[in-house]
Amino acid sequence: MAHIMAVTAYRNAEFGTDPGVDRAASADVAAGGVGIDDPAMLRSLLDQTPTPTALVEGEGDRCAFANAAFRALGAVAGTNLTERFPALSLSMLIEARRTGQPQRNRAASDRTTDGERFWDVRVTPLLGVNGVVRALIVTADETPESAAEHDRRLRDVSHRLKNTLQLVSSLLTLQTLSSKDPEVRRALQSAGGRVGIVTQAHQRTHGALRAGTVDMAVHLRELCQELEATLPGAHRVKVTAETTEMPMESVIPFSLIVSELVGNAARHAFPAGVPGDIDVRLGRGEGGRIHLEVVDRGIGLPQGLDVARASTLGLKVVRAFVGQLRGRLTADSSPYGTRVSVDFPPA
């Protein structure tokens, strides 16, 4: 609320852009009284606002006005605001000027002699009648330390988990190199590959800790690009994906499902030494259900193989994670190729 009041007050007083201004009040000001359009009075009122509020005019980050709450933080008129208040980044000011759109950082930090403080920082452009940015209003609300600390702990746990996964992957690699049995080596390589998929998926969820959802279309393209580089044979993986939000906790099982299905197609769908295309598609189906397809133009599934009952490790992994996400797995195969489909409930 203080942020909205500050922006409205400056817009009225400095630029006169409020079409609803009281004409009688304007007349009082013209007659020598003090009204709502008096910049001096508005600055005096804002000086009493408990929310740190500042005005930045022209280019750069030089402060034109800072209220008492901001001055208590060391920001005064005539100084560089980003130097005096490091929680505000120069990039926020630049982007607000460039786009004319408000900018916000809900978790900005400012380290002082008293420790680290966390802020919800807003930069709001004030536009003139011709749409040009005339000035920027900066406000900063201190966020509860408990919330900031909670986010920081989540990030720390996430970082430690990533390090642990990388350690497991390294140990599997060492074990693979020390083994002389080809079957054991293949099994360890397969296990290492799965751990690698989990590590990459976990890394992508790190940035979604606050949002809680991930755009699986972006994730799927990146995942398949990485898979293509490691598949046996010169196979191409083509991705067609619509924007599809899924909960953050779905990313790892979804990634393992895709990895296993694409890997199976690369290893078994094509004659030895013959490259082929693998199509991966993601979108919405009936009732908003999320629909995933992995399609190849290979030789088809072996006679009598039922993906819902097959005992191979890869398909067991697929069925386990499809079940975890409450999905449904089906396959359609012929001598001209195979289509494996997974339908997930709406996110």
Between CA 22 and CA 162 the distance in angstroms is: 60
Compute the average pLDDT of residues 74-89: 91
- Higher pLDDT: 327 or 10? It is 327
Question: Rounded mean pLDDT of the chain?
Answer: 79
* Residue 186 CA, distance from chain mean position: 36
Which residues is 56 bridged to in the sheet? 63, 136
Between CA 6 and CA 2 the distance in angstroms is: 6
pLDDT of residue 273: 73
> Does the structure show a pLDDT above 90 at 292?
yes
10, 49 Cβ separation under 8 angstroms: no
Dihedral of the alpha carbons of 156, 160, 165, 171, in degrees to the nearest 10? 160
Backbone dihedral angles phi then psi of residue 250, each to the nearest 5 degrees: -85, -15
pLDDT band of 116, cuts 50, 70, 90: confident
pLDDT of residue 230: 81
> Does the structure show a pLDDT above 60 at 4?
no
pLDDT of residue 229: 83
Of 5-9, 127-131, 266-270, 279-283, the least confident: 5-9
Compute the average pLDDT of residues 19-47: 51
What are 122-128's contacts with CB under 8 Å, separation 24+?
A: 122/3, 123/88, 123/92, 123/93, 123/96, 124/3, 124/7, 124/96, 125/96, 125/97, 125/100, 125/101, 126/7, 126/10, 126/11, 126/14, 126/15, 126/17, 127/17, 127/100, 128/15, 128/17
pLDDT of residue 250: 86
pTM comes to: 0.50
> Does the structure show a pLDDT above 90 at 115?
no
Q: Which two tokens stand for residue 102?
A: 């408000």
Of 46-55, 190-199, 204-213, 290-299, the least confident: 204-213
> Does the structure show a pLDDT above 80 at 12?
no
- The helix (run of H) or strand (run of E) holding residue 245 is strand 245-247
> Does the structure show a pLDDT above 80 at 169?
no
pLDDT band of 38, cuts 50, 70, 90: low
> Does the structure show a pLDDT above 50 at 17?
no
pLDDT of residue 124: 93
State what percent of residues in the chain have pLDDT above 90: 29
Of 112-121, 196-205, 301-310, 311-320, the least confident: 196-205
| pLDDT tens per residue across span 321-331 | 899 899 999 99
3-state secondary structure 81-109: HHHHCCCCCHHHHHHHHHHCCCEEEEEEE
- Higher pLDDT: 120 or 210? It is 120
Distance from the first to the final alpha carbon of the chain: 33
Compute the average pLDDT of residues 271-285: 89
> Does the structure show a pLDDT above 70 at 1?
no
pLDDT of residue 16: 47
Which SS3 state, helix, strand or coil, does residue 15 take? helix
- Higher pLDDT: 199 or 249? It is 249
